[in-house]
Structures are given as C-alpha cells and as structure tokens.
Amino acid sequence: MIDLAFVRANLALVEEKLRSRGMDPAVALGDFANVDQARREAITQVETLKAQRNRLTEEISKLRREGKDATAQTEQTKALKSQVESLETSAAVADDKLREILQALPNLPQASVPVGKDEHGNREDKVWGERPNFYFPAKPHWELGEALGILDFNRAAKISGSRFVVHFGQGARLERALANFMIDLHTREHGYTEVLPPFMVNSKSLFGTGQLPKFAEDLFHCDDNGNYQPGAYQESDHWLIPTAEVPVTNLFRDETLDESQLPTSFCAYTPCFRSEAGSYGKDVRGMIRQHQFQKVELVKFVRPEDSEAEHEQLTRNAETVLERLGLPYRRMLLCTGDMGFAAAKTYDLEVWLPGQELYREISSCSNFEAFQARRANIRYRPAGAKKSEFLHTLNGSGLAVGRTYLAILENYQQADGTIKVPDVLMPYMNGETVIGRQQGRS
C-alpha cells in the first residue's frame, strides 16, 4: 500500500506512475483529492470545536462555583458535542474511502523500470549459457516424460481434473532432488534460513502481501464455515497458498524488528496452488501452468537503504541455481505494464526450453519496497531512533521446481529419449546418471 502522505504530497507523480502502468489515474484515484480535503477539514473543525467545548466546560465550572446560571453554556456544549460527533463520523467515512482507494492502487515503479504496455516492453538485461544443439529433433517435456513413464497427466486428470500431474519413479526422485539441491544451496552458501510454513493462510495474510482483495479469483478458498464474505477478513477463513511468499512474509505481520535483525533471509519449499482463472486455453499441454506445483521461495526483510542491493543479490541467488544446473537462461527487467501489483521493480529469469524453442519464466524476483510492509504492518526500529519505520520486503523463486524439472527434461534429453542427470544432482539422485524408462509403467 502506498503512503497516504506521499500520495497527497506527490499527486502529479503518482498519476504519472499510474499512467505508466497502463491505468487511468482518474479512475484509479477517483475522488481522492476532494475526499482527502474533506477529511482534513472535518478533522480541523473537530479540533476547533473541541477547544471551544473545553473553554465552555471551564466557564460552566466557574459559573457554578459562583452560584450563577450556566444553562446557556450547557446548551452550547451539547450542540458542540453533536457537531463534533457528526464531523467525526464524516472523517471516519472519508478515512474508509481513502483506505479503499489506497488499497486498490498498485505499487509505484522505480525510476529504473522501463515504461511499457506489456511483455513486449520488457528489457533483456543478461543472457547466460549456450543453448543445446541436438542432432535429433528436440521433444517437449510432456512427450519425454510420458514416454519414460515418469509423468502421467491422464491419471492425474482422473484423480483431480485438468492441470495436474502425477510423478513416478525417477521422475518423483528428480522433483525431490531439485528441491533438496536448491534448499542446500541457499542455506549453505547464500545464508538463508530454511522455514517450513503452513500451506493454508487466513485472509489477513493474503491482504498483507497484496493478493486480496484484488486477486481473489486466482486463489483457492477453503469454505470453513460457509460464510465467507469478500472483504470480511476473519481468522476462520483459509486459503491454499499461491506461493510461500504469503506465509513467510506474514511471519512478522504486526511486529517491529530491531535493526540488528536485518537483513533477515528465509527460504521455503512448499506446494503452491493457483486457480489460473485468467489463463483459460493457455499452456494446456505439460507442466507450464498447473493448479498445484512446488516451489522454493526466497524472502528478505531489509532496511530501505539496502533494498536495491539486496534485490540484485536475491536475483543472483536464483540465477546461481540455473548456472549450477547448466540451464541456459536470460534475465528480463519487466516494464511498468508487465509488473505485478505489489512490485516496485521485478526481474524475471526465463529458462530456454529447446523442445518448445522458447524462453519460459522460471523465477520472478521483486522488490516491493514498503508496499507489503505497510499492508502487513511490518516495521523496524533504526538504531538510536525513537520511532519505528516500515522495512522493505523482497522475494523471488529460487526456483519453481516444476519448471526446473521440465527444463532439465528438455535440455538434457538424449537421442534415445532418456534424460542425462546434471552433475550437481547426481548425489541427490542416488548416484544415477540417466533417467530411463520406468519398469512396470504402462
């Protein structure tokens, strides 16, 4: 959420940033200026009337001590009280309206973010690795996985419906090997603390990270009591997490950290659940867009002055996974029109998939600045300071395990349809060097 005082003092800049995101400021901000002005005038009048009432109260006391009639002054105080209550109600209504406007505003892009309407405005910042040059036609991962008997989309559809998959044998081991490799790398070399959070969260948590109320249709809601109402954030409401970013970021909701605790870096391996409500007909083949997938997530809590450098470091941590696995990728700086709602700046890492002859997003690394911290009320107290401040939050996939899995199938495929195991994964694959046809699978 954007700071009210900032919007008030920088309204022209906010309008410009909203336009750069492809939004109409008149629609997004609505009657912000008038509502804010009315609120401030009501508060000022309340203070003025309260001061008058206090003076009258003193005058009434004096008159009564002197045995004089204070009826007129008493009536005045009653009238003032009624006016104050009316103005306070008006200020509260204006407060709610301003909060509603601010909650619906996306984060403001940093100055370094390129202006653009959609993914075509993204900027390629880096390309790493050589694309494999096969002497045979490269196959997509769904053909490779089904032929080897390690992926089964049909049985998953029987069990759960479309956009699910069952892993078998060495395929199941590969998924687990990737997660363990990523967690070991981030905890042993990159300094993250592993955390295993709940896979269900309440509405307040999703509001804190920016998924609610705007993106409710993209989530799976658990109807605990059959009485959920949009915007009514009750502790009894539960949602399946769309990413570990949600529970991990909310670990410190409504808390104030000491500056000495920053930066705090967590990594978490969890399943993720997404309804993919806006992706009907897209990526129906394979594992690209699933309702359930696994991911290793990186989350940082940092001082505001450190967030840009920490964002670069977090992105490098994610890139290291791809480089250790030998997977060609590129880093894209997202433009204003392609960034997520809560992000101030985002790098997408896109892995090369030879079976499809294209790059696919495998990690999105974002700096949210104080946007999530303000929504979730996460503060820190600078050394020697009397007042606390909102810290900055960052997160990124380190990596999406399913997409890394399919990238290995496509980049390490061999002419006979088997998959060579990347060197760094061999210890996690019980020393096996090749993923072959699974025995007993049909």
* Residues 406-428 pLDDT 10s: 999 999 999 999 999 999 999 99
Residue 112 lies in a domain: no
Report residue 73's pLDDT band, with 50, 70 and 90 as the boundaries.
confident
Burial 364-400 (b: 16+ CB within 10 A, else e): bbbbbbbbbbbbbebbbbbeeeeeebbbbbbbbbbbb
- The CA-CA-CA angle for residues 181, 244, 233, to 5°, reads 170
Picking from 78, 104, 130, the residue at the C-terminal end of a domain is: 104
Same domain, 380 and 295: yes
Residue 442 lies in a domain: no
* Residues 206-235 pLDDT 10s: 999 999 988 999 999 987 666 556 555 555
Task: Write out the residue range of the structural domain in which residue 82 sits.
Answer: 4-104
Retrieve residue 236's tokens. 């009894």
Q: How confident is the model over 356-381, as a mean pLDDT?
A: 97
Residue 110 lies in a domain: no
Same domain, 100 and 144: no
Q: Exactly one of 21, 163, 173, 274 is catalytic; which is it?
A: 274
Same domain, 61 and 135: no
State residue 329 phi and psi, 5-degree precision.
-150, 170
Same domain, 311 and 193: yes
Same domain, 248 and 333: yes
Q: Hey, what amino acid is at 85?
A: E
Is 366 considered catalytic here? Answer: no
Q: Exactly one of 364, 366, 374, 379 is catalytic; which is it?
A: 364
Residue 196 lies in a domain: yes
CATH number at residue 158: 3.30.930.10
Report residue 99's pLDDT band, with 50, 70 and 90 as the boundaries.
very high
Short-list 318, 328, 293, 322, CA closest to 395: 318
Judged by DSSP in three states, 272 sits in strand
Same domain, 38 and 182: no
Is 88 considered catalytic here? Answer: no
Picking from 44, 78, 104, the residue at the C-terminal end of a domain is: 104
Report residue 5's pLDDT band, with 50, 70 and 90 as the boundaries.
very high
Q: Exactly one of 8, 19, 289, 437 is catalytic; which is it?
A: 289
> What strands, in cross-sheet order, belong to the sheet with 123-128?
123-128, 329-333, 345-353, 358-369, 392-400, 292-302, 264-273, 193-194
In angstroms, rounded to a whole number, what is the distance separating the alpha carbons of residues 113 and 111?
6
Residue 114 lies in a domain: no
Is 388 considered catalytic here? Answer: no
Give the 3-state DSSP-derived string for 281-330, with helices as H, strands as E and coil as C.
CCCCCCCCCCCEEEEEEEEEEECHHHHHHHHHHHHHHHHHHHHHHCCCEE
For the chain, how many structural domains are there in total?
Answer: 2
Percent of the chain, pLDDT > 70? 95
Same domain, 125 and 76: no
Q: Exactly one of 41, 59, 361, 432 is catalytic; which is it?
A: 361
What secondary structure letter does DSSP report for 423?
A: G
Is 357 considered catalytic here? Answer: no
Same domain, 181 and 299: yes
Residue 249 lies in a domain: yes
Check: CB of residue 403 under 8 Å from CB of residue 360: yes
Is 55 considered catalytic here? Answer: no
Residue 324 lies in a domain: yes
Report residue 141's pLDDT band, with 50, 70 and 90 as the boundaries.
very high
pLDDT at 59: 87
* Residues 242-274 pLDDT 10s: 999 999 999 999 999 999 999 999 999 999 999
Same domain, 236 and 173: yes
CATH number at residue 31: 1.10.287
Picking from 104, 134, 166, the residue at the C-terminal end of a domain is: 104
Residue 170 lies in a domain: yes
